[in-house]
Amino acid sequence: MVDVIAELTNNLKVSNRAGKAQVVLPYSKFRESILETLKAEGYIKSFSTKGKKVIKNIEVELEYDNGSPKIQGVQLVSKYSRRMYTKAAEAHSVRNGYGSLILTTPKGIMTDRQARKEKVGGEMLFKIW
């Protein structure tokens, strides 16, 4: 069984540190919604879906700041063996606001800042900085 979130975050982090311009991932709606959130936060430049019907991929263009990778680190919070949930008021900032906590909520996938603003809690997926 493949952990979709672990595969996605690890591929992004490793490819970013290796200096690659883009990375190709298998398509799923869940991955696409996570990537939309990461794009809005500025961790990736853009992404696009390639392929038809069953065989689809997502091409992700990675973001760099003056040659240094935008994604410095990723830490999984929820795992298959242990799911971690939080209330809106308890969704703390990551690295004093320099990072983001990605949550899945009834209103979709969002960051800790958006969750506090919308006053909605959910499952904590991962921290990124």
What's the confidence (pLDDT) of residue 84? 96
Tell me what pLDDT residue 1 has.
57
pLDDT tens-digit profile of 90-105? Answer: 988 899 989 999 999 9
For residue 129, what are the CA distances in angstroms to 27, 57, 61, 70?
A: 24, 25, 17, 8
Q: What is the pLDDT of residue 53?
A: 85
Please report, for residues 17, 23, 113, the alpha-carbon distance to residue 104 in angstroms, rounded to integers and kept in the order given. Answer: 26, 23, 13
pLDDT given for residue 54 in this prediction: 86
pTM strictly above 0.85: yes
2 pLDDT higher than 90: no
On average, the pLDDT of the chain sits at: 94
Domains and CATH numbers, the chain: 4-128 (3.30.1490.10)
Which tens digit of pLDDT belongs to each residue from 39-92?
999 999 999 999 998 899 999 999 999 989 999 999 999 998 999 999 999 988
Query: What is the rounded CA–CA span in Å between residue 13 and residue 21?
Result: 12
In terms of phi and psi (left: phi > 0; alpha: psi -120 to 50; beta: otherwise), the region of 89 is alpha
